[in-house]
Structure formats: structure tokens, C-alpha cells
């Protein structure tokens, strides 16, 4: 997940603008449906911790949509913030209105919590999809039950699988975010294997890798300071990603590492930017990239720096 850029921040003066959006929604028109996160208990996340959750009224949202229409002369894609818009009971009505104001839009996407999808009736999901909501960005994080519990995710693997099934049945495209390093150094194998297992059940259209980066205000930071959670070192994390990839048996999925947190630096140079490609076509090439990088890290005597190291050293201020 990316915070918004300078140009987008300027728009906040004109209407209520979502503070975060996925990197691949960088060119989307942004519309805020809710404020904050209704769960807000994930230990790895600091995005909405200081923000009280609110559902905006349809009237306020429609006013913002009209302002957005004035700003975005053309919007092929639209992204809805904040973190979990499927909780909004008027979402189908709101999406219908957005479609009316932005008739040229080819895709409308939104963040959604798996637990909300799991609890929603199929009729509501189908209505939102019929209204024109195409794609859901879902924080999957891990398929390992213990890892999910430790991170305070508020969902278990069975609920993740059922949420994925319901979303697919309703007709949504699914983009799942897998958190590399989520299991810590003690549970990286289970995290990789169980994540592959659940992903094979859900069969998402997109898998997006993010690396766990513990920020100073993250609720996970005190646990790390006390030694109750140990970060997965870069070499081990690559082995984790390799194990995950080898376990994926998907016939039509795009896997991306489209975030700075996946980068690795050695001697001041980026030596790894992640893996990316269609599955299963590019699976062999991605495995080759991982194995070559692992081999290099095993042979180098220089320090390997990841996003956690660079954040601690002050080279990365936010993510």
C-alpha cells in the first residue's frame, strides 16, 4: 500500500481524499467512501491507528464524486478508500452513482477485509458487483493460522478461503496481498506453505507481495523490542518466497512485487527488486531469479540491507 503523492495531497483541499491507495491505482481517480479501518487491530499496520472509523453519508460521498469529476477530466479507473468499503450498507447505490458520473470508467476497485466479505450475504456482494465494482484489494497476509492470530488479523484460513470463494462467485476480480516475513524467523516455512495452500483454494487473479516492515509506531514494534517477534532475515525471506512460489498451482494469476519493501541492497546497489510475471507461464523464470539471488546472498560477505534496515537507518521515512 502506498500513501498518496504530492499532487494527490493538493486535491485534499478540494474534497475528502483517501490517504492511501495501492501502487497499481496510481493513475486512478480516488473517491473516499469510509474513513479509517473498522478493525484497526492488525499489529503490523500503522496506517489508520490514529483515525476513528466512520462511514460517510451518501450525500457527502456524492458531493465528493461531483468534485472529483471536475478534477479528473477522464478516469479509466477509479479506486475507493479507505480500508473496507464493503461495510458500507449503501455501497451498491454509491457505486451506481459513480458509474453515472464517470461513464467512461472501465474499472472500479476498492479495499476490502476478508472478514467482511465472509460475513456479507451473497445478495449484497452480487448487488455491489452488478452496480459496477469490479476488483477487490484484500489483505491476505498469510494462510497460516498461527501467524494470522499472532498478527491480530481477525480472520482464520478457513474464513479467508470462504471469503475468496464468495468474492469469486459474486464475479469480482481479487487482488490478494501476501506479507513476506509475516511468520517471523520462527515460522517462515509454515507461513510459506500454508499461504500457498490457501491461495490455491482461492485462485485469485492477482497476488501482490509486500515485505513486513516494522515502523516505529507499529504495534508490532514493542513485541519486537522485547524479543517476542523476530524479523525474518533477507536470505531466509527469499527462501520463504521461493517455497511459496513453488507451492502455487494456479492456472491464471499475475504475481507482482510492486513495492519498495521487496527490494534488497548490497554495497549501495539494488540487487533484488522482487519477482513478477504470469502464472504458470513465468513460474520457472521467477524461481530461477530467486535461486540466483539466494546463491549470491549466500556467497557475499557484504551487509545485505532490506527495507527494515534502511528504515532504521533513516533512509526510508515512510512506506
* Residue 29 banded pLDDT, cuts 50, 70, 90: very high
What whole-number distance in Å separates Cα of residue 49 and Cα of residue 40?
6
> Is 183 within 8 Å of 154 (Cβ atoms)?
no
Q: How confident is the model at residue 140 (pLDDT cuts 50, 70, 90)?
A: very high
Give the per-residue pLDDT at 14: 77
The pLDDT mean for the chain works out to 94
User: Sorting pLDDT into bands at 50, 70 and 90, what band is 17?
Assistant: confident
* Residue 16 and residue 65 in contact, taking contact as beta carbons nearer than 8 Å: no
How many angstroms separate the first and last alpha carbons of the chain?
8
Does residue 296 have a pLDDT over 70? yes
Confidence of residue 315 (pLDDT cuts 50, 70, 90): confident
Superfamily of domain 2-262+274-299: tm_1862 like domain (3.80.30.20)
- Residue 166: its pLDDT value, please? 98
Identify which has the larger pLDDT, 219 or 9: 219
Average pLDDT of the residues in 49-75: 94
Overall residue count recorded for the chain in this entry: 319
pLDDT over 60 (residue 108)? yes
Phi, psi for 115 (deg, rounded to 5): -65, -35
Amino acid at each position: 500500500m502506498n500513501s498518496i503523492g504530492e499532487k494527490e495531497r493538493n486535491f485534499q483541499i478540494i474534497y475528502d481524499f483517501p490517504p492511501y491507495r495501492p501502487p497499481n491505482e496510481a493513475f486512478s481517480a480516488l473517491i473516499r467512501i469510509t474513513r479509517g479501518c473498522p478493525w484497526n487491530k492488525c499489529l503490523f499496520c500503522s496506517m489508520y491507528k490514529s483515525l476513528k472509523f466512520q462511514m460517510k453519508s451518501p450525500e457527502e460521498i456524492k458531493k465528493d464524486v461531483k468534485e472529483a469529476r471536475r478534477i479528473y477530466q477522464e478516469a479509466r479507473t477509479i479506486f475507493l478508500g479507505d480500508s473496507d468499503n464493503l461495510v458500507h450498507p449503501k455501497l451498491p447505490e454509491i457505486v451506481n452513482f459513480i458509474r453515472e458520473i464517470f461513464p467512461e470508467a472501465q474499472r472500479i476497485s476498492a479495499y476490502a477485509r476478508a472478514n467482511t466479505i465472509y460475513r456479507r450475504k451473497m445478495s449484497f456482494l452480487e448487488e455491489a458487483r452488478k452496480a459496477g465494482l469490479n476488483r477487490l484489494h484484500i489483505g491476505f497476509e498469510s494462510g497460516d493460522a498461527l501467524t494470522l492470530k499472532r498478527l491480530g488479523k481477525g480472520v482464520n484460513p478457513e474464513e479467508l478461503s470462504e471469503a475468496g470463494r464468495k468474492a469469486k462467485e459474486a464475479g469480482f476480480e481479487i487482488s490478494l496481498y501476501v506479507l513476506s516475513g509475516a511468520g517471523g524467523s520462527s515460522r517462515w516455512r509454515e507461513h510459506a506453505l500454508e499461504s500457498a495452500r490457501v491461495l490455491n483454494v482461492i485462485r485469485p487473479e492477482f497476488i501482490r507481495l509486500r515485505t513486513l516492515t516494522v515502523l516505529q509506531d507499529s504495534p508490532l514494534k514493542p513485541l519486537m523490542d522485547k524479543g517476542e517477534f523476530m524479523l525474518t532475515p533477507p536470505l531466509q525471506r527469499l527462501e520463504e518466497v521461493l517455497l511459496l512460489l513453488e507451492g502455487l498451482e494456479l492456472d491464471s494469476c499475475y504475481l507482482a512485487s510492486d513495492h519498495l519493501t521487496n527490494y534488497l541492497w548490497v554495497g549501495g546497489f539494488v540487487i533484488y527488486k522482487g519477482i513478477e510475471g504470469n502464472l504458470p507461464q513465468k513460474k520457472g523464470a521467477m524461481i530461477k531469479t530467486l535461486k540466483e539471488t539466494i546463491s549470491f546472498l549466500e556467497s557475499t560477505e557484504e551487509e545485505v540491507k532490506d527495507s527494515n534496515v534502511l528504515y532504521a537507518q533513516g533512509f526510508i521515512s515512510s512506506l
